[in-house]
């Protein structure tokens, strides 16, 4: 079972800076969207988590390294790998790859992201609901 999930995105004009390069902070948006789609692929609905279980996921820590520039119209594949599934947190390794027309891939950015599960009202740490943990393990396993 592969622990890697991939999500494709095209770089739009709004993603770039005055030099035509993807603005560095936009990789955080790309990573966030990929994690959201990853969670959806696991069968987890974030609205349901908040409404029925009273918990939400929040980013606790992120570190990003930039390796090469992405530019307007580039197609990126943003990957998500679970590094650690804890009682109330998840740690991810994420990568953004430029996909070439010839099938070549160029590593653009890497990120290590820690996400915590918190109570939506108190904003204090809360265990990840068991059914969510089971869905993650069933779909992608854990590192």
CATH code for residues 4-140: 3.10.129.10
pLDDT value of residue 2:
65
Query: What pTM value is reported for the model?
Result: 0.93
Q: Does residue 1 carry a pLDDT above 90?
A: no
- How much of the chain is in helix, strand and coil states, percent to nearest 5? 25, 45, 30
Q: Any residues with CB less than 8 A from the CB of 119 and at least 6 apart, and which?
A: 54, 55, 125, 126
Which phi and psi (to 5°) does residue 106 adopt?
A: -120, 125
What are 101-117's pLDDT values in tens digits? Answer: 888 999 999 999 999 99
What are 17-44's pLDDT values in tens digits? Answer: 999 999 999 999 999 999 999 999 999 9
Domain parsing of the chain, residue ranges: 4-140
The residues annotated with a catalytic role in the active site are 17
């Amino acid at each position: 079972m592969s622990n890697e999930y991939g999500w494709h995105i095209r770089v739009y004009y709004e993603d770039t800076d005055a030099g035509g390069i993807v603005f560095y902070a936009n990789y955080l948006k790309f990573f966030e969207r990929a994690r959201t789609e990853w969670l959806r692929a696991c069968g987890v609905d974030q609205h349901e988590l908040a409404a029925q279980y009273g918990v939400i996921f929040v980013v606790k820590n992120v570190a990003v390294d930039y390796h090469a520039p992405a530019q307007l119209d580039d197609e990126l594949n943003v990957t998500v790998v679970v590094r650690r599934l804890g009682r109330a947190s998840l740690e991810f390794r994420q990568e953004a790859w430029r996909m070439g027309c010839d099938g070549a891939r160029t590593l653009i950015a890497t990120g290590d992201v820690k996400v915590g599960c918190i109570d939506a009202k108190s904003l204090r740490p809360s265990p990840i609901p068991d059914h969510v943990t089971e869905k993650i393990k069933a779909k992608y396993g854990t590192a």
